[in-house]
Amino acid sequence: MRTRKGFRIKSIVNALILLTVLATLVISAFIAYGSEKQSLTRMTFQLNKVYTDKISETVNNLFRNMMQSLDVTGEYLASDLKRSDLHEQLLLFQRSQASFNSVFIIDNQGRLVEGSNINSGDIGKLITTEGTKQALSEKRPLVSEPYISATTNKLIVMVSHPLTNSKGQYVGFIGGSIRLHETNIFQTLLGSALDQSNGSYAYVVSSSGNLLYHPDDSRIGEKVVGNEVIDDIMAGNSGSKRVVNSKGLDLLASYSYIQETGWGIVAQTPTEVVLSSSRMLVMKMVLYILPALMVFMVLIYWVIGKISDPLSKLSEFASKLSPNQSEGDELPRIHSLNYEANELHKAFGRAVRHFRYQFDSLSLEAQTDPLTGLFNRRTLDRFVKSWMHQEIAFSLMVMDLDNFKQVNDTYGHDKGDEVLRYLASSLPRLLGNNAICCRFGGEEFVVLIPNEQFDDAELAAERIRKYMAETNSPTGKPVTISIGVTHFPGFATDAEQLFRLADGALYRAKRLGRNRVETASEEEYGDKTS
């Protein structure tokens, strides 16, 4: 009867070494890719933010100077709007303020008095554009939203300053226009300052979401909706975000708010640029490491060819390279006089430590809730069973955010997630390091406190409830919480009964008006155990 020869010990050990090296290479490449991506993303955000902050400061100062110049010139001309040299004075002022395409004066009835670049036939014409209406209505220094000029029929932004006569009476305003589709300050500042070779670009948006400058001229004047960066700018904020724009492009955007005008400067770089750079760096790293690994493999193959008996012990141990095996297993002892076997023995030891480190990391991920970072339900069940088995006394709190569906409906699910993380970060701080905090599911959380007197647990629950009721959540308002509290072994003898009593207390808190703490009663305990 022929017996199966099977595989040679030499082949088996070499295969395991190869797999170990490949796994190390793949994991190292994955970690290096993640690290490089994070580093390049952070650097891109920082560079874009430095750029937008600088441009924002420049534009802010520029418009402040425009306002001051209009104020000084207007004060000089307002005393006599019928002077014969009014046109020449406006021309002279425009030449000193190259940012304006034209400068003009409109009286308090909305009629054009004079201008630097206008047709003589337009003088005296009633101007009814949105910018004119806003300036006449508000009678204050302002920068208008983009609108179509009445005299040039072009898309412009107007900077204006009110005019008053010697008696302090309002007589109109002096204004300067910036034509958005022609050479202007935005093209001068943004057109060549940002490196566009990698797809990066910058744009300017008004306080109402209209594009004032964009590398694509056809988009100037377009109102952008659904862009969270622009929404944040319209709220008066600056910052950095990874966004998908209205054209479906994944971008790394940094933006700065311009205080003087209420506008925003946005600089953004395609995310794929960062990802491709990260991949290229990792590929170079792998290409540098591969020759050394190949040499290492050839050397190991030659060494194993000289070994016989020690390899059988090491190959048997190789089967333990699994996350299901006990961490207490030790490498088998081999003949200390066999140098080659000892070196391979050390190599296996390094491989085991590396694999266990990786498996420990994966195990931690399996035990925690990805949204809040707290323990998950599986880990909670393990703690409860273990403590009950060891007869450790502990209190159990089941808590549920009140009206959480309204939070999601009113503020959106992203804000709802922020509220969940807000509660999750508050629990350890309010309860101390001994508390086991878990997210049970949805908006429901469970806390275990070992060796806790039940009265102290009630006080701790009330402390959580009061904190949530009196502290503004990420929604800007407090979000209340209802809590049910019970105790082992004071109110329950097994896990099922313990959770049932806590749930009953929680539902009673909800039924009695929410935002309260209820405890399991001795009557309920007696009813459950009778």
Contact 480, 468 (CB under 8 A): yes
Active site residue 443: yes
What is the CB neighbour count within 10 angstroms for residue 109? 10
Please enumerate in sequence order all residues whose Cβ is within 8 A of that of 37, keeping only pairs 6 or more positions apart, or say none: 274, 275, 278
By C-alpha distance, which of 172, 144, 169, 174 is closest to 157?
Answer: 144
59-64: long-range contacts (C-beta < 8 A, 24 or more apart)? 59/185, 59/189, 59/258, 59/260, 59/261, 59/263, 59/265, 60/258, 60/259, 60/260, 60/261, 62/99, 62/185, 63/143, 63/159, 63/258, 63/260, 63/261, 64/260
The bridge status of strand 517-519 relative to strand 481-488 is parallel
Q: Which residues pair with 375 in a beta bridge?
A: 368, 438
- Kindly provide the b/e burial profile for residues 334-353, where b requires at least 16 CB atoms within 10 angstroms of the residue's own CB: beeebebbeebbebbeebbe
By C-alpha distance, which of 527, 402, 381 is closest to 464?
Answer: 402
Q: One of 443, 452, 518, 524 is an active-site residue; which one?
A: 443
- 140 three-class SS: coil
Residue 322 carries which side chain, given as an amino acid letter? S
Burial (CB < 10 A; 0-12, 13-18, 19+), residue 502, is buried
Strands (E), 367-524: 394-401, 436-441, 444-450, 481-488, 517-519
Specify the DSSP class assigned to residue 174.
E
Q: Which residues pair with 158 in a beta bridge?
A: 177
Contact 473, 479 (CB under 8 A): yes
Contact 55, 202 (CB under 8 A): yes
515: left (phi over 0), alpha (psi -120 to 50) or beta: left
Copy the structure tokens of residue 439.
Answer: 């997210």
Residue 173 carries which side chain, given as an amino acid letter? F
- Kindly provide the b/e burial profile for residues 258-275, where b requires at least 16 CB atoms within 10 angstroms of the residue's own CB: bebbbbbbbbbbbbebbb
How is 367-410 classified by DSSP, letter by letter?
HB-TTT-SB-HHHHHHHHHHHHHTT--EEEEEEEETTHHHHHHH
How is 9-30 classified by DSSP, letter by letter?
HHHHHHHHHHHHHHHHHHHHHH
Active site residues: 443
